[in-house]
Amino acid sequence: DMDMLQVGRGMSYEEDKTHLTFWCMMHSPLLLGNELTAMSQQTIDIITNTDIIALNQSSFVYQARRLVDYGELEVWAKPLVSTISGEVAVALLNRSENEKTISFNLESVGLDAAKSYVVKDLWSKEQFPLSTENELSRTIPSHGVVVLQIKGKSLPYNVFQYKDKE
């Protein structure tokens, strides 16, 4: 449990989006800790993003894992529906003071790119066409996040499953 949300209490727009994203990716209770009667439209838009909130409200409770750590750039992911459903949410985090590009391999988030996948950006609502590219890259603003919902085919014994030693 990551305590209460501080969205709308003086952080930047990107920081507020990042804050809500990680509360939802980690299945933490969503308790607002701001002045509800004085919220800006920007804050309301952030806290009412139904795609992001759906990550938190899913009946399949599985907290995100940090799968790639490049220092100030990180790739976090969580399975959606089940650990073998082929549906994952990926949060690309930029903790630096500058805009940066993050790249990651689909295999690192448990998906078989060769069998094709589709991507939706959960903040911009942009849908991307069917792809078989093995690597995805996105440019992330300073202190910002991009959250992708990826639907494809799961790899056997992917990163979200326990595998016995042989």
Strands (E), 81-126: 87-94, 100-105, 117-121
- pLDDT at residue 1 greater than cutoff 50: no
106 vs 1: which has the higher pLDDT: 106
Domains located in the chain, CATH noted: 13-57 (no CATH), 65-151 (2.60.40.1180)
Under DSSP, the state recorded for 113 is: G
Contacts for 33 with CB less than 8 Å, ≥ 6 apart: 4, 5, 6, 9
Which pair of tokens denotes residue 159?
């990163």
Distance CA 3, CA 31 (A): 8
Chain segment 6-23, per-residue pLDDT in tens:
665 567 889 989 989 998
Q: Is 140 exposed, middle or buried (0-12, 13-18, 19+ CB in 10 A)?
A: buried
